[in-house]
Amino acid sequence: MNAAALPKAALPAWDAYLAMERTKNQHVELLATIERREQHGGPRSLAEQVRLDRLLEAHDEAVQRFRRAMQELATDKQCHAALLLHLQRHNGKLWE
Protein backbone atom coordinates (compact mmCIF):
# COMPACT_ATOMS: atom_id res chain seq x y z
CA MET A 1 0.00 0.00 0.00
CA ASN A 2 1.45 3.36 -0.95
CA ALA A 3 0.55 6.65 0.70
CA ALA A 4 -1.57 7.62 -2.31
CA ALA A 5 -3.93 4.79 -1.38
CA LEU A 6 -4.55 6.26 2.07
CA PRO A 7 -7.76 8.18 2.67
CA LYS A 8 -7.19 11.93 2.40
CA ALA A 9 -8.08 12.40 6.07
CA ALA A 10 -5.20 10.08 7.07
CA LEU A 11 -2.51 11.99 5.17
CA PRO A 12 -1.74 14.56 7.91
CA ALA A 13 -1.09 11.71 10.37
CA TRP A 14 1.07 9.90 7.80
CA ASP A 15 3.08 13.06 7.11
CA ALA A 16 3.50 13.62 10.85
CA TYR A 17 4.65 10.02 11.26
CA LEU A 18 7.25 10.44 8.52
CA ALA A 19 8.52 13.64 10.16
CA MET A 20 8.72 11.81 13.49
CA GLU A 21 10.65 8.95 11.88
CA ARG A 22 12.99 11.35 10.05
CA THR A 23 13.84 13.44 13.11
CA LYS A 24 14.42 10.33 15.21
CA ASN A 25 16.78 8.90 12.60
CA GLN A 26 18.69 12.17 12.26
CA HIS A 27 19.10 12.42 16.03
CA VAL A 28 20.23 8.80 16.40
CA GLU A 29 22.68 9.09 13.49
CA LEU A 30 24.29 12.22 14.94
CA LEU A 31 24.49 10.61 18.38
CA ALA A 32 26.16 7.53 16.90
CA THR A 33 28.69 9.68 15.04
CA ILE A 34 29.53 11.62 18.18
CA GLU A 35 29.78 8.47 20.31
CA ARG A 36 32.15 6.78 17.83
CA ARG A 37 34.41 9.82 17.92
CA GLU A 38 34.21 10.10 21.73
CA GLN A 39 35.29 6.46 22.05
CA HIS A 40 38.55 7.54 20.40
CA GLY A 41 39.02 10.58 22.61
CA GLY A 42 37.35 13.19 20.41
CA PRO A 43 35.24 15.68 22.34
CA ARG A 44 31.68 16.70 21.54
CA SER A 45 31.55 20.21 20.16
CA LEU A 46 29.16 22.93 21.25
CA ALA A 47 27.77 23.04 17.71
CA GLU A 48 27.02 19.31 17.87
CA GLN A 49 25.26 19.71 21.20
CA VAL A 50 23.15 22.54 19.78
CA ARG A 51 22.33 20.40 16.73
CA LEU A 52 21.33 17.48 18.99
CA ASP A 53 19.12 19.78 21.05
CA ARG A 54 17.43 21.15 17.93
CA LEU A 55 16.87 17.68 16.51
CA LEU A 56 15.35 16.55 19.79
CA GLU A 57 13.04 19.60 19.80
CA ALA A 58 12.03 18.88 16.20
CA HIS A 59 11.34 15.26 17.11
CA ASP A 60 9.24 16.26 20.12
CA GLU A 61 7.21 18.60 17.89
CA ALA A 62 6.73 15.82 15.31
CA VAL A 63 5.59 13.42 18.04
CA GLN A 64 3.03 15.96 19.27
CA ARG A 65 1.82 16.58 15.72
CA PHE A 66 1.43 12.83 15.16
CA ARG A 67 -0.42 12.43 18.46
CA ARG A 68 -2.87 15.21 17.57
CA ALA A 69 -3.42 13.80 14.08
CA MET A 70 -4.11 10.34 15.50
CA GLN A 71 -6.58 11.79 17.99
CA GLU A 72 -8.39 13.52 15.13
CA LEU A 73 -8.54 10.23 13.21
CA ALA A 74 -9.99 8.35 16.17
CA THR A 75 -13.48 9.51 15.20
CA ASP A 76 -13.13 7.96 11.73
CA LYS A 77 -12.63 4.25 12.40
CA GLN A 78 -12.14 3.34 8.74
CA CYS A 79 -9.48 6.01 8.17
CA HIS A 80 -7.79 5.14 11.44
CA ALA A 81 -7.69 1.44 10.51
CA ALA A 82 -6.31 2.24 7.04
CA LEU A 83 -3.49 4.28 8.54
CA LEU A 84 -2.66 1.61 11.12
CA LEU A 85 -2.46 -1.00 8.36
CA HIS A 86 -0.22 1.31 6.34
CA LEU A 87 2.04 1.86 9.35
CA GLN A 88 2.18 -1.88 9.98
CA ARG A 89 3.26 -2.53 6.40
CA HIS A 90 5.73 0.37 6.45
CA ASN A 91 7.33 -0.93 9.63
CA GLY A 92 7.00 -4.61 8.77
CA LYS A 93 10.64 -4.76 7.77
CA LEU A 94 11.55 -4.14 11.41
CA TRP A 95 10.06 -7.50 12.37
CA GLU A 96 11.56 -9.62 9.59
Q: What is the pLDDT of residue 95?
A: 57
Q: Domain span at residue 20?
A: 9-95
Is 1 inside a domain boundary?
A: no
Q: For residues 94 and 96, what is the distance between their CA atoms, to the nearest angstrom?
A: 6
Q: For residues 88 and 96, what is the distance between their CA atoms, to the nearest angstrom?
A: 12
> Per-residue pLDDT tens for 28-45?
999 999 999 899 888 889
Q: For residues 89 and 3, what is the distance between their CA atoms, to the nearest angstrom?
A: 11
Query: If pLDDT is split at 50, 70 and 90, which confidence band does 4 have?
Result: confident
- Our count of domains for the chain comes to 1
- pTM recorded for the entire structure: 0.84
User: How does 34-50 read in b/e, with b if 16+ C-beta sit within 10 Å?
Assistant: beeeeeeeeeeeeeeee
> Per-residue pLDDT tens for 44-96?
899 999 999 999 999 999 999 999 999 999 999 999 999 999 999 888 865 55
Is 2 inside a domain boundary?
A: no
Identity of the amino acid at 9: A
Query: If pLDDT is split at 50, 70 and 90, which confidence band does 5 have?
Result: confident
Is 3 inside a domain boundary?
A: no
Is 4 inside a domain boundary?
A: no
